[in-house]
Amino acid sequence: MGMIWVGAAQVSYVNEIVELVKVFYPEQQAAAIPNRNAEFGEGHVHTGLSEDDILLEAGYTAEKSGCIEFAASLYRNGSLLCRHSNILFPGKTGNQHDHNPAYHTNHKKSNRIIKNGLKGCVFDLLSKYTGKHPKWGALTGIRPVKLVHEMLDRGLNEAMVKKQLHEIYKLHPEKSDLLIRTARVQQPLLDNRKNEEVSIYIHIPFCSTRCSYCSFPSDLIGRAAEKMEAYLECLKQELTAVVDALENKGKKADTVYIGGGTPTVLSHFHLETLLLLVKQQLLDRFSIREYTVEAGRPDSLDMLKLESMKEHGVTRLSINPQSMNQQTLDLIGRNHTVEDIIRVCHQAREIEFDCINMDVILGLPGETPQHMEHTMKEIAALNPENITVHTLAVKRASAWKESFNQYDPAREGLAEEMADKCRKWIDKLGMVPYYLYRQKYMLDHLENIGYALPGKECLYNIQFMDERRDIWAVGAGASSKIYYPRENRLERIANVKNLDAYLSRIGEMIEKKQKVFQSS
């Protein structure tokens, strides 16, 4: 098969339809037809397409009766391969607002109806043609739990939410149940929607080595060590400006998250400097409910760093093995051993850290469900309070992009089997799903899920995914998200990613944030 081209001349949702096509054809290239006004249909051979290319056409017709007919077709060389159509009656979705036509006009719900109707029709077409039914249905967004909260906020009960997830978004019952379970855990932990409290994120973009699967921008600590003093000084300037502005506005920070990179790759002196900065600017000025440090690689930790974090008020650690199989760790570029993981967890317990998160990755090269069984057995023995289960997603910026084919047919279903092994152990530990997000290029069209013991959920993760509070982020590559509740709108303020650019343009980074404070 050649390219898969998508044409939808009536609408602006072509890119989302392209992403849905990639779910069914992960190894194929898919793109929007360059000429959106081209004439499609049976017997029309679009110029520029090869004989092996497939054309997907999608569109809709709104009838006077109030119903909307969606249609999608597949063509090769002007010949029809498959066609599917759906008819939707917008006033019969089970939502109490849907019976009021003004609701759609005033709240832009008509656009959502068209988008979801088209994606649902395309999903049904591709499912019919390929025989596949991906469990996440027509959903391509990264925050599906947010969709459930929006439905609940509009007055739908859980049964009605599940019905819409199945009928409109084509979700498998397993996924709709997962979303509702996760939303149920989150609801009592969500903000009051008044945006009175904010979260603070501090980015430390340094690692000791680069993991083969990683696509995040970061600098190797060996190359950046001479710039560390300058970086911490810039962090101090930016964080101080943000905190001063928050106090002037009468807002309060309640969660702090230091991420990366690997924050604990800093030297003892520089880590102590960072922790002291956070204590002076945040812990001494606000009532902080949760303070997380990504201690990612266990080889970046020792007892002195752990004691320093405990002394300076850190309440939650993330110690991430990814796998408990040494051969895998060596392959993916992790410069630590399984014994290092066990040692660091025991040391953290010795000084009474009572909330430890551990990450694992489904689908790492060479691993089987039996490897995942071993990993989960070893992690369960360490009794963490959180476990985050990631699914491998090899992106363009990763070292494996050209050398590793995660969509090898022999790997199909592998991540699903490994996820089953994880769930078995997570159930034994008494954990529940508390946050969830999705990414492009995920093996088996899966998801990333954070599990926690009840009462040990990471508030920052929930707040970040819910997107209904301010997240003020400082550091190179950090991106703030400012929430405007009256408009239910987010504004992003991105810092430059390049380390040298951040150091030389710190005044500009601060000025951008100050303008937002002044205008709000």
Residues 249 and 104 in one domain: no
Could you tell me how many residues make up the chain? 520
Q: Is residue 100 part of a domain?
A: yes
* Joined tokens for residue 434: 């508390």
Domain of 341, CATH number, reads 3.80.30.20
Give residue 261's pLDDT.
86
Q: Is residue 271 part of a domain?
A: yes
Q: Is residue 159 part of a domain?
A: no
Q: Is residue 309 part of a domain?
A: yes
Q: Reduced to 3 states, what is the DSSP secondary structure of residue 479? A: strand
Domain of 36, CATH number, reads 3.40.50
Which residues of the chain have a pLDDT value below 50? 93-107
Radius of gyration of the chain (CA): 24
* Joined tokens for residue 466: 């819910």
Residues 129 and 204 in one domain: no
Domain that includes residue 54, residue range: 4-133
Whole-Å CA distances, 130 to 21, 61, 133, 293: 11, 26, 9, 45
Q: Is residue 308 part of a domain?
A: yes
**Phi-psi domain of 165 (left: phi exceeds 0; alpha: psi -120 through 50; beta: other):** alpha
When divided into structural domains, the chain yields a total of 2
* Nearest alpha carbon to residue 16 among 447, 440, 444: 440
Q: Hunting for tokens 């790759």 — which residue is that? A: 265
The model's pLDDT over 105-163, given as tens digits with 9 standing for 90+, comes to 444 567 888 899 999 999 999 999 999 999 999 999 899 999 999 999 999 999 999 99
Residues 103 and 207 in one domain: no
Give residue 475's pLDDT.
97
